[in-house]
Amino acid sequence: MNPIIGDLHRKNMSAILRAMADKSQAHVAQLIGVSEATLSRMKDTDIEKLAALLAACDLVAVPRTHISTSPERMRALEVLAREALDASTGGVVDSGWGSLK
Q: What's the pLDDT score for residue 87?
A: 85
Give CA–CA dist 26/29, Å, rounded.
5
User: Mean pLDDT, the chain, as a whole number?
Assistant: 86
pLDDT at 79: 93
| Cβ proximity of 36 and 25 under 8 Å | yes
Question: Would you state the pLDDT for residue 93?
Answer: 55
Q: Please determine, for residue 30, whether its predicted confidence score (pLDDT) is greater than 90.
A: yes
Q: Which residues contact 36 (CB under 8 A, 6 or more apart)?
A: 25, 26, 29
For the chain, domains (ranges, CATH) are 3-56 (1.10.260.40)
pLDDT digits (tens, 9 = 90+) for 32-58: 999 999 999 998 889 999 999 999 999
- The answer to whether the CB of 13 falls within 8 A of the CB of 48 is yes
HSE, CB side, 13 Å, CA atoms: give it for residue 93: 12
Kindly give, in sequence order, each residue whose CB lies less than 8 Å from that of residue 4, ignoring residues fewer than 6 positions away: none
